[in-house]
Chain A
Amino acid sequence: MISPFLADPAFLENIIRILFVFVLITAAFTLSTRNIASLLNVYAVQSLLLVLIAVFLYLIEGSQTLLAIAVLTLVSKVLLIPLFINLIGEKIKISRDLKFNYLEPTASLIVSMGLILLAYVFLSGFFSEFILGKLFFMGAVIGLSLTLMGMLVIFSRRKVITKAIGYLTMENGVLLFGIFVADLPFIIEILIVIDLMILVLLTTILAIGIDSTIEEYHQRLQTLRIWSGRED
């Protein structure tokens, strides 16, 4: 039934374009949502969108690497990382990130519209000399925009966990950019995910520290059994 559609590149390309729009919507949510649990869900959805984009692109291009990236993203960013942050979030009992630095949500949405245009203008200056297909050019623009919007999240949000989600959003942007501009060796993608995991691990542990007095901090860490070194 559906297979003739999946064999039609034009159809697939349009689906990918629609997914681009969805990705931008999730980024806008990340900039404005105050509830941490929904922020995390938005991040998981955003990563899932990237998985779908990679799969559809695989159907068009047939490159095995894309499929591998899709699987890796699904396991690490849709499942593991949100699960882990959720676990930490429950321990530190922060459910909302209410305050914003420098920019309120409306202002940051307007700024991010500017950033998307900027990304487009900038990239069209450089890729004119390349034979990069229309879809691929669009992917690069969306990827760069997503990176910039993630940076905006790091700037404008206060709580460490929200900042971490901003960083993760930036990384999703880089992944999207990478998928469409170059087919990097898969080993590099794995390395980035490892880097991401370590970074998330460390920042969330520090988030516990920010939020408690020092004595509590040590107790909490001990109950978490993350710090295991001991000298008696």
Chain B
Amino acid sequence: MIIFSYLAVGAIALALIMLSKSHRAMNAFFILHTLASLAIGVYVLLTTTVPIFETGSEYFYVDHLSLYEALIAALLFFLASVYANGYVESLMQAQELHRNNLKIFYMVFSLLLTTVTLAFFSDNLALFWIFAELTTVFSAALVAILSAKENIDAAIKYIFIASGAMLFSFIGLIFLYTLSGEVLSSGTLNWTMLAKNAAILSPKMLTASFVFLFIGFAAKSGIFPFHTWLPDAHSKAPSAVSAILSGVLLNIGMYGILRMYAIVRQTQAETMVSQFLLGFGLLTVAVAVLNMLLQKNLKMLIAFSSVEHMGILLLGIGIGTPLALFWTLFYILAHSLTKASLFFSAGILHRQYESNLIKDIKDVFSLQPIAGWGFVIGSFAIIGMPPFPIFSAKFFILLEAFGFSKPLVFAVLLLLVIASAAFARFLIEAFTQSSKDAGTEGPEALLLPYVVRNGMKFPIISILFIILALGVVFPEPLENLLNIIVYELGYL
């Protein structure tokens, strides 16, 4: 029932967008689609006893983790759809988005929401693989929709790296299938079956299969050394799409790694895989912060920050204690929201200056107060300052890591300081520039404020409100939900 309602909503939204004539209508139907997805998720969470299998077979499975991820996705899509209303109109006015492509944009965006949701609810890992692949293809189309050469370049790089790596994941799945066939009556790729029988799987083969699967999932979430596509794609995409790429699509790869780790940790392969994850996590954070430090491009800075945060999530998964998992899950939510607000603010700034470069940004607070403050507060939140939620998440993950390895914690802390310095440097340099002391006075140097359209401020302000609230009080329902997820993944 749950899967069918998601599918039905997706199909209806797609059809309505296809039939509608004006931008306003397309946007409205897309917003309705996101709201409906949100509503289904909340309804299921409140009224249905999960975990349950869906569609009468074991292909789809609804548990608290998948619901949680699907809800985060729906929330971000909702915010992005509201933002898109004004933003896309500006893109068309600036002739960056061709009017003929408008319908394609909304149709693909809506399809992306449906496939993302289905990916999270797939119990069969091959099905998950296919949906994850489709999300790559659809999101790459959204990157390329601006049809500037650099966008097409970025989209092509994204497709070939992410999809190529996902083929290695498929080899991992074949391994997994064979391996389960050795001990069970027939081979299976159903996560529930594998998790139940994990203890009798051969640890050596399981490690091999994990490594192959990791290649694809890591590429999808921008883990070093497969991150090279991410800064290009995330910074070239329209900002409404960038927010989804960073806030939702990266979570898909992490979700895959999380599910696989839940299987692996029941076997003797755990130590090796955990060290493997910690190693890649640390490398990822290191590479990302070094690229952030002297970054001159606003959206590139945010994109590399996503790479950094994926590295920290990988550390959180690799530590493997129940508490670390709890905070990793919370981190996913905090990161998605904060990153979206940064991209939304950057989108407004890009409209204002028609550039993402540090040297072009002037008089931020008088021209674009909301975007300016949104970016400043968002930066504080993303580097993990208290009282924002990323602070507590990072704090407790590192505290758990302390029992694991002290040098690791020190290394991560050092890198986090560099990341904060990168944001501080960028903010000070860009946001204190004034056209008065630039020396290029005259009428051509004066910028007119870009009129921020309706709907573009709402997502930024509401996200800032939510993360501030989440940082100050930890709502009990959320705590219960995360605890149930930790339990369901077999950690307790």
Q: Do the beta carbons of B159 and A203 come within 8 Å of each other?
A: yes
- Can you list 20 A-B pairs with a CB-CB distance of less than 8 A? A147-B171, A151-B164, A163-B160, A167-B167, A177-B174, A178-B174, A181-B174, A182-B181, A184-B174, A188-B126, A198-B137, A202-B137, A203-B159, A206-B144, A206-B156, A209-B147, A210-B156, A218-B98, A218-B100, A218-B147
Using CB atoms, name the residue of chain B closest to A179: B174
Mask of A176-209 contacts with B, CB within 8 angstroms, 1/0: 0110011110001001101100110011001001
> Could you tell me the distance between the alpha carbons of A182 and B171 in the complex, rounded to whole angstroms?
10
From known contacts A192-B130, A209-B144, A210-B153, infer whether A126 and B208 are also in contact, taking CB-CB under 8 Å: yes
Q: Do the beta carbons of A182 and B100 come within 8 Å of each other?
A: no
Segment with Cβ contacts to B, from A73-81, A89-97, A224-232: A224-232
Q: Do the beta carbons of A206 and B178 come within 8 Å of each other?
A: no
Mask of B101-112 contacts with A, CB within 8 angstroms, 1/0: 111110100000
Using CB atoms, name the residue of chain B closest to A187: B126
Q: Which residues of A contact B148 (CB under 8 A)?
A: 214
Using CB atoms, name the residue of chain B closest to A214: B147
From known contacts A144-B171, A147-B167, A191-B126, infer whether A231 and B160 are also in contact, taking CB-CB under 8 Å: no
Interface residues of B in 156-174 (CB under 8 A from A): 156, 159-160, 163-164, 167-168, 170-171, 174
Q: Which residues of A contact B101 (CB under 8 A)?
A: 227, 229
Q: Do the beta carbons of A229 and B159 come within 8 Å of each other?
A: no
From known contacts A147-B171, A209-B149, infer whether A202 and B141 are also in contact, taking CB-CB under 8 Å: yes
The distance from the CB of A28 to the nearest CB of chain B, in whole angstroms, is: 19
Interface residues of B in 117-147 (CB under 8 A from A): 126-127, 130, 133-134, 137, 140-141, 144, 147
Q: Which residues of B contact A199 (CB under 8 A)?
A: 133, 137, 159, 163
Number of interface residues of A (CB under 8 A): 43
Q: Which residues of B contact A229 (CB under 8 A)?
A: 100-105, 107
**Residue in B98, B149, B163, B204 whose CB lies within 8 Å of A210:** B149
Report, as a range, how many residues of chain B touch the other chain. Answer: 35 or more
Q: Which 5 A-B pairs have the closest CB atoms?
A: A229-B103, A229-B104, A209-B152, A182-B178, A182-B177
Mask of B75-102 contacts with A, CB within 8 angstroms, 1/0: 0000000000000000000000011111
The distance from the CB of B61 to the nearest CB of chain A, in whole angstroms, is: 17
Q: Do the beta carbons of B21 and A170 come within 8 Å of each other?
A: no
**Residue in A166, A194, A231 whose CB lies within 8 Å of B23:** A231
A130 in the interface (beta carbon within 8 A): yes
A126-B204, A170-B164, A192-B170 given; 18 more Cβ-contact pairs under 8 Å: A126-B175, A126-B205, A160-B156, A174-B174, A182-B187, A184-B126, A195-B134, A198-B134, A206-B155, A206-B156, A209-B144, A210-B153, A214-B148, A214-B149, A222-B100, A229-B100, A229-B103, A230-B100
Q: Which residues of A contact B182 (CB under 8 A)?
A: 130
Using CB atoms, name the residue of chain A closest to B104: A229
The distance from the CB of B209 to the nearest CB of chain A, in whole angstroms, is: 9
> Could you tell me the distance between the alpha carbons of A191 and B294 in the complex, rounded to whole angstroms?
44
> Could you tell me the distance between the alpha carbons of A191 and B102 in the complex, rounded to whole angstroms?
29
A61 in the interface (beta carbon within 8 A): no
The distance from the CB of B110 to the nearest CB of chain A, in whole angstroms, is: 12
The distance from the CB of A213 to the nearest CB of chain B, in whole angstroms, is: 9
Q: Which residues of A contact B202 (CB under 8 A)?
A: 129
Q: Do the beta carbons of B126 and A203 come within 8 Å of each other?
A: no
> Could you tell me the distance between the alpha carbons of A212 and B104 in the complex, rounded to whole angstroms?
21
Q: Which residues of B contact A195 (CB under 8 A)?
A: 130, 133-134, 137
Q: Do the beta carbons of A206 and B152 come within 8 Å of each other?
A: yes
> Could you tell me the distance between the alpha carbons of A174 and B104 in the complex, rounded to whole angstroms?
32
B22 in the interface (beta carbon within 8 A): yes
The binding surface of chain A is classed by DSSP as: helix
Q: Do the beta carbons of A227 and B204 come within 8 Å of each other?
A: no
> Could you tell me the distance between the alpha carbons of A126 and B202 in the complex, rounded to whole angstroms?
11
Q: Which residues of A contact B208 (CB under 8 A)?
A: 126
> Could you tell me the distance between the alpha carbons of A147 and B149 in the complex, rounded to whole angstroms?
29
Q: Do the beta carbons of B164 and A203 come within 8 Å of each other?
A: no
From known contacts A129-B205, A209-B149, infer whether A163 and B156 are also in contact, taking CB-CB under 8 Å: yes
Q: Do the beta carbons of A202 and B178 come within 8 Å of each other?
A: no
A154 in the interface (beta carbon within 8 A): yes
Interface residues of B in 360-383 (CB under 8 A from A): none
The distance from the CB of B130 to the nearest CB of chain A, in whole angstroms, is: 5
The distance from the CB of A160 to the nearest CB of chain B, in whole angstroms, is: 6
Q: Which residues of B contact A177 (CB under 8 A)?
A: 171, 174
> Could you tell me the distance between the alpha carbons of A227 and B170 in the complex, rounded to whole angstroms?
31
> Could you tell me the distance between the alpha carbons of A181 and B212 in the complex, rounded to whole angstroms?
15
Q: Which residues of A contact B104 (CB under 8 A)?
A: 227, 229
Interface residues of A in 21-42 (CB under 8 A from B): none
A58 in the interface (beta carbon within 8 A): no
> Could you tell me the distance between the alpha carbons of A184 and B124 in the complex, rounded to whole angstroms?
12
Q: Which residues of A contact B159 (CB under 8 A)?
A: 199, 202-203
**Residue in A126, A174, A214, A217 whose CB lies within 8 Å of B170:** A174
Q: Do the beta carbons of B177 and A231 come within 8 Å of each other?
A: no
> Could you tell me the distance between the alpha carbons of A191 and B115 in the complex, rounded to whole angstroms?
14
> Could you tell me the distance between the alpha carbons of A175 and B485 in the complex, rounded to whole angstroms?
35
Q: Which residues of A contact B127 (CB under 8 A)?
A: 191
> Could you tell me the distance between the alpha carbons of A214 and B100 in the complex, rounded to whole angstroms?
13
> Could you tell me the distance between the alpha carbons of A126 and B181 in the complex, rounded to whole angstroms?
15
> Could you tell me the distance between the alpha carbons of A32 and B122 in the complex, rounded to whole angstroms?
40
Q: Which residues of A contact B156 (CB under 8 A)?
A: 160, 163, 203, 206, 210
Mask of B300-342 contacts with A, CB within 8 angstroms, 1/0: 0000000000000000000000000000000000000000000
Q: Which residues of A contact B105 (CB under 8 A)?
A: 229
Q: Which residues of B contact A166 (CB under 8 A)?
A: 160
